[in-house]
């Protein structure tokens, strides 16, 4: 987020106090401060190497899906570049000549902008070397303003393939200004609409975008062929009782969508979540229900007076390495040593979490384990380490694929959430298609025992959606859908029915 800015109105902050030679200087030899932000020089070889190393460290050590640079990286205020380190690089490439005194000199601007682009290219190469599927993204200020003021050449980044996608910050507070800037921005990327996603300002200080403006901005994007957007920032969707988030889910985001640029590959499938009160769990001892807000409404609580445990069992959707998480509820009277045992295929690990520490609230990682598809005992939570008077809290646990350890696993089903508020077993039942194998027409039967919204979709072996057969309200009863695969190649396909958070999937084979 800060990029090549070291601090905000702190005379460079602790970074420049320790490394004063990293400071970006103007023609007068003063630290460059622009809009309150203090800057270091991206062209300084030490700064260049340090910032590149940060990206490498993250790509090597963490299970990420990519990196995104923002309006301050790579960037340099146009007034800068007169520090000794930057000048030395310039003189070395220009036969000892000093850089122009006019910071708006076109050649001097181009040289500095090209250095920033080279930094971005080097970062891209370094990140891709750690994972070819990792995205390298940019959310710059609007071009050409970004070039004229911060030497950000996002047009070149897209044209030269440095950025996998670009998310210009079309941050405006009314519809007229938004579409004006959107149209100007799109004109700079006429051949790369597939890489263009609009940045929409939804929250800033006390400001939260209205429902009407949010939906209008998305409609403007779609009308211009922009197939997605990024919101700054996430908390707006959760504000006012999830008002905007729910509105998006009801309208533009009502359906699942493939991640752009992945060719249908589901790199990060939805996590599988099991709530503490799911009937597949073993709940032993004296546990009490509590209305304390947890992952999905209430939680369970026990004391130290007698042995108590919950053994969580989860349906693992596919063979892979998974990160295991617990949703932790904290409080001053909670357990300082909540004992979790995590079970993999061949091993287990006991870990403790301090439930009195507020910063442990929410999803907390427990362990990474290999699991095979099927029903598994996953976690045991017990009160055998809590002190007198403490309360052990129990909430949901979750598994999410670890792509560092399972980079090539192909996912064709989406796990759901089990427990509270789940669709009860038997609300719908999916039958095997007939005939199977088939060529090219088959019938899919399903039974709905409680009316509701039903979605029936078909996926190929890579996880790419190839057909939507049903997406609407169904009364209770028996239903048959005809699937014609005349335009598809022979192979294995999966059909999936979803209602609420419950999903059922079956396999079928097309032979031509």
Cα distance between residue 89 and residue 49, in whole Å: 14
Domain boundaries, the chain: 5-252, 272-401, 429-510
pLDDT of residue 26: 99
pLDDT of residue 263: 82
Provide the whole-model pTM.
Answer: 0.78
Q: Name the DSSP letter for residue 129.
A: H
Q: Which of 197, 180, 91, 220 is nearest to 140 (CA)?
A: 197
Burial of 370 (0-12, 13-18, 19+ CB in 10 A): middle
3-state secondary structure of 52: helix
CA angle (423 as vertex; 420, 425 as ends), nearest 5: 110
DSSP character string of 285-324? S--EEEEEEETTEEEEEE-SSS--EEEEEEEE-SSEEEEE
pLDDT of residue 501: 55
pLDDT of residue 453: 78
Cα distance between residue 274 and residue 276, in whole Å: 7
Provide the terminal-to-terminal Cα distance of the chain, rounded to the nearest Å: 53
pLDDT of residue 422: 35
The crossing angle, in degrees rounded to 10, of helices 211-223 and 235-250 is 60
pLDDT of residue 375: 94
Was domain 5-252 assigned CATH 3.30.310.10? no
pLDDT of residue 415: 53
249 CB-near residues (< 8 Å, 6+ apart):
none
pLDDT of residue 477: 80
pLDDT of residue 474: 79
318 CB-near residues (< 8 Å, 6+ apart):
373, 409, 411, 413
Per-residue pLDDT of the chain (512 residues; tens, 9 = 90+): 899 999 999 999 999 999 999 999 999 999 999 999 999 999 999 999 999 999 999 999 999 999 999 999 999 999 999 999 999 999 999 999 999 999 999 999 999 999 999 999 999 999 999 999 999 999 999 999 999 999 999 999 999 999 999 999 999 999 999 999 999 999 999 999 999 999 999 999 999 999 999 999 999 999 999 999 999 999 999 999 999 999 999 999 988 888 888 888 899 999 999 999 999 999 999 999 999 989 988 999 999 999 999 999 999 999 999 999 999 999 999 999 999 999 999 899 999 999 999 999 999 999 999 999 999 999 999 999 999 999 999 999 999 999 999 998 988 655 555 554 333 334 678 888 889 899 999 999 888 877 777 889 998 877 788 999 998 877 778 888 999 999 999 988 889 888 765 678 888 999 99
**Token digits of residue 274:** 């099991």
Q: Return the beta strands (E) in 348-427 as ranges.
A: 348-353, 362-371, 374-382, 392-394, 397-401, 417-418
User: How are beta strands 320-328 and 397-401 bridged, if at all?
Assistant: antiparallel
pLDDT of residue 465: 86
Task: Tell me which of 2.60.40.1930, 3.90.580.10, 3.40.920.10, 3.40.50.2000 is the CATH number of domain 429-510.
Answer: 2.60.40.1930
DSSP character string of 176-231? HHHHHHHHHHHTT-TT-GGGB-EEEE-EETTEE--HHHHHHHHHHHHHTT---EEE
- Domain 272-401: CATH superfamily is Galactose-binding domain-like (2.60.120.260)
Cα distance between residue 464 and residue 37, in whole Å: 44
pLDDT of residue 423: 35
- 442 within 8 A of 483, measured Cβ to Cβ: yes
CA dihedral sign, ordered 208, 211, 213, 218? positive
């Amino acid at each position: 987020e800060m990029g090549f800015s070291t601090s905000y109105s702190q005379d460079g902050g602790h970074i420049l106090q320790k490394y004063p030679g990293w400071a970006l200087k103007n023609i007068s030899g003063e630290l460059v401060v622009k809009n309150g932000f203090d800057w270091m020089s991206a062209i300084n070889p030490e700064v260049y190497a340090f910032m590149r190393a940060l990206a490498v460290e993250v790509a090597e050590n963490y299970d990420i899906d990519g990196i995104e640079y923002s309006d301050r990286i790579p960037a340099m205020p146009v007034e800068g570049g007169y520090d000794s380190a930057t000048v030395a690089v310039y003189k070395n490439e220009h036969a000892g000549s000093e850089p122009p005194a006019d910071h708006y000199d076109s050649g001097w601007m181009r040289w500095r902008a090209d250095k920033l682009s080279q930094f971005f290219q080097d970062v891209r190469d370094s990140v891709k070397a750690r994972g070819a599927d990792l995205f390298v993204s940019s959310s710059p200020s609007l071009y050409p303003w970004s070039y004229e003021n911060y030497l950000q050449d996002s047009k070149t980044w897209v044209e030269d393939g440095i950025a996998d996608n670009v998310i210009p910050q079309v941050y405006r507070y009314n519809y007229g200004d938004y579409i004006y800037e959107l149209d100007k921005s799109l004109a700079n990327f006429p051949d790369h609409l597939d890489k263009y996603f609009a940045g929409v300002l939804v929250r800033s200080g006390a400001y939260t975008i209205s429902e009407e403006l949010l939906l209008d901005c998305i409609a403007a994007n779609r009308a211009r062929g922009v197939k997605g957007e990024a919101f700054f920032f996430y908390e707006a969707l959760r504000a006012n009782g999830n008002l905007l988030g729910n509105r998006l889910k009801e309208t533009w985001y009502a359906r699942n969508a493939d991640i752009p640029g992945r060719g249908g590959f589901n790199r990060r499938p939805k996590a599988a979540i099991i709530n503490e009160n799911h009937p597949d769990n073993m709940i032993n001892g004296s546990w009490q229900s509590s209305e304390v807000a947890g992952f999905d409404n209430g939680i369970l609580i026990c004391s130290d007076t007698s042995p108590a445990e919950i053994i969580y069992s989860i349906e693992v959707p596919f063979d892979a390495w998974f990160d295991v998480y617990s949703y932790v509820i904290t409080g001053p009277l909670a357990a300082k040593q909540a004992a979790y045992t995590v079970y993999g295929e061949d091993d287990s690990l006991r870990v403790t979490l301090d439930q009195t520490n507020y910063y442990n609230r929410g999803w907390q990682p427990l362990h990474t384990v290999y699991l095979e598809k099927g029903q598994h005992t996953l976690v045991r939570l017990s009160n055998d380490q809590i002190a007198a008077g403490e309360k052990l809290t129990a909430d949901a646990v979750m598994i999410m694929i670890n792509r560092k350890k399972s980079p090539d696993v192909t996912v064709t089903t989406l796990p759901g959430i089990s427990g509270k508020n789940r669709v009860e077993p038997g609300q719908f039942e999916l039958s095997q298609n007939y005939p199977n194998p088939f060529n090219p027409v088959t019938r899919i039967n399903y039974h709905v025992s409680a009316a509701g919204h039903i979605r029936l979709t078909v996926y190929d072996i890579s996880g790419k959606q190839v057909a939507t057969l049903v997406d609407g309200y169904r009364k209770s009863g028996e239903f048959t859908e005809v699937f014609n695969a005349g335009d598809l190649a022979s192979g294995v396909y999966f059909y999936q029915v979803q209602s609420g958070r419950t999903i059922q999937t079956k396999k079928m084979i097309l032979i031509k």
